[in-house]
Amino acid sequence: MIRNLARRWSCLILGGALLMPYMMVGSLIAGLGSGRTANLLLLPAQVGVFFAMLPVVAVTGLFLPIRGLEVSAAQGLLGARVLTPPRQPGRSWQERRRTAAWFTLHLGVGGVVSGCTLAIVPFTIFTVVVFFTGPPTQTMGLEIAPGWNAFLWALAGVALLAGLVALAAGAGALLARLAPVLLGPTPAERLAAAEEHARALAERNRLARELHDSVGHALSVVTLQAAAAGRVLDRGSDGAPQTARSALAAIEQSARAALADLDHVLGLLRDDDAAPRTAGDPSDGRPTAGDPSDSPRTAGDPSGGTRTDWDTSDSPRTAGNASDGPAGRPDDRRGRAPQATLDDLGDLITTSGASVDQQVGDLSEVPAVVSREAYRIVQEALTNAIKHGAHGPIRLTAAVHGGDLRVEVVNPCDGRRGDGIQSGGLSGGRGLAGMRERVRLLRGDLEAGPTETGWRVAARLPLRSSP
């Protein structure tokens, strides 16, 4: 408690020290105006200067960058739990008014406590010393004589000192209570911080969805190719080694891509934990750097995590890059490679090892953001078809009709898995949920369910957003 009182008293003394330049300027101006400089040293004149300078303190508090200093003083000396306000590109008038009110309160209360400290502490020491050792003397026009007279003066000095301690404790408690209100985030700053927090959560959810799509597809391909390689080797035909080698190469490519995406997403999460974003940070944008085959990841990669120098120049990125954000803007901080688009459907189908009947029209006019999301939808639908088995070639149709991109994937099965559960999505429904979320963000439509010919996934994505 004593340490807490001493720190709060120090904060009050700091306020008095910051008030001194204002008092000196006010005294100088008053002296020049009245021509009686000596009279300004008297207590009534100083009280007048004090109240006259408080509006000046408030006006300067509107413009001086003092919020950071006051927050540090309130946290370190007052022990107040002041939430550190988020960094903003500019100061709002609401924040200026609150800071000016605190600055005026701090300097005003601190000036009163500092003045009382400078007056009462020496007075108490003087009266106590005179009571024990001093000869008769005068103070404030009154005589202090040895005996009961000196004792009463010493008692008055001690009482004033106790009152000063109570005043400092009360003033410190008042400032500690008001500091979070006046120095904490304004409602606008709290709203901005809440929006930033929601944006960070949405980014993490997006990364989780991207990782689910990427790794889920890669594992499905690995499972399919590994099973195919085992069946080929069991048959022992002349072309078995070459066929098995091709299957193992596809497994290697898919595993490399999955590991790279996993490493990449974990690096992004480490970045977010190490460097919290602030308002206005464009870190949710999509990068536009070159393909990762042109620049293998190294330990100095800005994603923040350790990288393995895998040479991926011969490994198509079937899963795409999970770094892309929803805004479609370049991300200068992360420098990520672009996410896969419909132009990469060929690599996706080749590495999957599935038999696919493609009917793809001219997709050159499809915007990049629509193309990226459509690629993910096709990837998820193809992953589901591989996972749950197909009784013939998977039919893929992608074409532009009017102002919409229409994508359809049909898996020629009976619409039910072997355990009697309807197929079409990964366990837990995350596959279909992810597709619906992508389509909903683009204001399109998604149909998924069993048909007479198998399991069908059809998406309609508008090429242009409409109000």
Per-residue pLDDT reduced to its tens digit, 53-65: 999 999 999 999 8
> What's the distance, CA 115 to chain centroid?
45
pLDDT tens profile 304-359: 333 333 333 333 333 333 334 333 333 433 334 446 888 888 888 887 777 888 88
Q: How far apart are the first and last CA of the chain?
A: 61
- pLDDT value at residue 422: 42
> What's the distance, CA 253 to chain centroid?
35
- Kindly state the tokens that stand for 411: 């898996």
> What's the distance, CA 114 to chain centroid?
41
**Is the distance from CB of 406 to CB of 382 less than 8 angstroms?**
no
Tell me whether residue 336 is exposed, middle or buried, using C-beta atoms within 10 angstroms of its C-beta: 0 to 12, 13 to 18, 19 or more.
buried
Q: What Å distances lie between residue 141 and 131, 144, 272, 273, 300, CA to CA?
A: 17, 10, 70, 68, 79
pLDDT of 10 strictly over 80: yes
Taking residue 297's Cβ as centre, other Cβ atoms within 10 Å add up to 20
> What's the distance, CA 370 to chain centroid?
27
- Kindly state the tokens that stand for 67: 């919020």
pLDDT tens profile 68-115: 899 999 999 999 998 877 677 778 888 899 999 999 999 999 999 999
- pLDDT value at residue 285: 37
